[in-house]
């Protein structure tokens, strides 16, 4: 998708300009004086939900208010995003957003929102995808997986959390980088995909580590590679895709807080500052690492720049692979 000048101008709101152009309404001096709702565009149990609940638990005491996590899964993130877009821009409704929904979903079909409808607050967690296979698949590393796929074209099938999801486009990246052909099997979320992987109904999948860690540790799944630039401390023996000879497979997810556009700038800055302090807590950092993620603070300006960069990168992948919405 090539952005027009008008679209690019609107997307500029999702960069650091958004903080300076935030709404003119004055923030309440005693903000927050009532509970905050954090909307999550996914069901319970996945990494987006984990990021929201970790943040709510740690940030609530800092703000002196309860943060209520509200799961609104479905529609490749569109249901939750549309809800927060419509919310009053007063700092009491926030979106814990997943990168795949924020910078991929709008390219797939006409949606009722776009990144410019939100002001970036701060990035919270980053997590690369991992490549996981069923335990009885006769491969133990990426080289063997590629060899197996080449010897059995279109025999391997991989699960994703939906058409156009980050897992789907990571699978497309692998096919393009390795010169193989696999069958994509979309599910309505990571949970159902994981269950069919465990039962052997599908051969492999991609995803952030947290939902898979207990099953990897129990020997029920095999992890072959990490799609980020560095190895995960919690999976230190697992090579990156670059180390395995596939540098073209590089997909890292991020999980970040956004507020409705026109949220007063002083509210946004307070939230940004408190998230910075929260992520500086060694206990929070350790909990993230134990789950296969990284506490990765980026202020609103840096988050907005990352949105723009990833928007352009994934637009190219979606267009070249002709990925369509379900």
User: What Cα–Cα distance (Å) separates residue 319 from each residue in 107, 164, 234, 302?
Assistant: 9, 11, 34, 26
Residue 263 CA to residue 27 CA, distance in Å, equals 9
Helix 300-321 vs helix 166-178: angle between axes, to the nearest 10 degrees? 60
Residues in the chain with pLDDT < 50?
1-2, 4-6, 8-9, 12-14, 16-25, 27
Helix 282-290 vs helix 265-279: angle between axes, to the nearest 10 degrees? 70
Is 128-235 in the same CATH topology as 5-127+253-321?
yes
E strands in the chain? 36-40, 67-71, 93-98, 118-134, 157-160, 183-186, 204-208, 221-226, 252-260, 294-299
The confidence score (pLDDT) of residue 169 equals 87
The confidence score (pLDDT) of residue 291 equals 83
The CATH code for residues 5-127+253-321 is 3.40.190.150
Question: Would you list the DSSP string of 165-207?
Answer: SHHHHHHHHHHHHHT---EEEE-SSHHHHHHHHHTTSSSEEEE
Q: Is 315 helix (H, G, I), strand (E, B) or coil?
A: helix
Q: Are 73 and 191 in contact (CB under 8 A)?
A: no
The confidence score (pLDDT) of residue 316 equals 82
Q: What tens digit of pLDDT does each residue of 83-95 get?
A: 999 999 999 999 9
Q: Are 171 and 179 in contact (CB under 8 A)?
A: no
* Domain regions of the chain by residue span: 5-127+253-321, 128-235
Q: Which CATH architecture has domain 128-235?
A: 3-Layer(aba) Sandwich (3.40)
User: What Cα–Cα distance (Å) separates residue 116 from each residue in 18, 19, 21, 165?
Assistant: 9, 12, 12, 21
Q: What does DSSP assign to residue 311?
A: H
């Amino acid at each position: 998708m090539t952005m027009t000048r008008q679209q690019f101008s609107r997307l500029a709101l999702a960069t650091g300009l958004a903080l300076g152009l935030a709404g003119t309404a004055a923030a309440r001096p005693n903000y927050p004086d009532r509970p905050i709702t954090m909307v999550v565009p996914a069901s319970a149990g996945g990494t987006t939900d984990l990021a929201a609940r970790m943040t709510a638990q740690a940030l609530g005491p800092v703000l002196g208010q309860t943060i209520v996590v509200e799961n609104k899964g479905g529609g490749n993130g569109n249901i939750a995003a549309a809800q927060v877009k419509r919310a009053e821009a007063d700092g009491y409704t926030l979106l814990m957003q997943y990168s795949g929904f924020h910078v991929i979903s709008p390219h797939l079909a006409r949606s009722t929102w776009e990144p410019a409808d939100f002001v970036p607050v701060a990035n919270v967690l980053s997590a690369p995808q991992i490549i996981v296979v069923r335990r009885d698949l006769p491969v133990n590393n990426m080289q063997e997986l590629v060899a197996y796929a080449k010897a059995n074209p279109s025999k391997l099938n991989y699960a994703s959390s939906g058409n156009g999801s980050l897992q789907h486009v990571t699978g497309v990246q692998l096919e393009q980088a390795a010169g193989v052909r696999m069958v994509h099997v979309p599910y309505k979320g990571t949970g159902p995909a994981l269950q069919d992987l465990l039962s052997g109904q599908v051969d492999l999948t991609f995803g952030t580590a947290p939902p898979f860690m207990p099953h990897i540790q129990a020997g029920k799944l095999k992890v072959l590679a990490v799609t980020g630039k560095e190895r995960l401390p919690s999976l230190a023996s697992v090579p990156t895709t670059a180390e395995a000879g596939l540098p073209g497979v590089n997909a890292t997810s991020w999980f970040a807080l956004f507020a409705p556009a026109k949220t007063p700038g002083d509210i946004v800055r307070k939230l940004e500052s408190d998230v910075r302090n929260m992520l500086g807590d060694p206990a929070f950092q350790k909990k993230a690492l134990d789950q296969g993620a990284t506490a990765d603070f980026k202020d609103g300006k840096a988050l907005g720049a990352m949105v723009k960069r990833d928007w352009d990168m994934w637009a190219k992948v979606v267009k070249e692979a002709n990925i369509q919405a379900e």
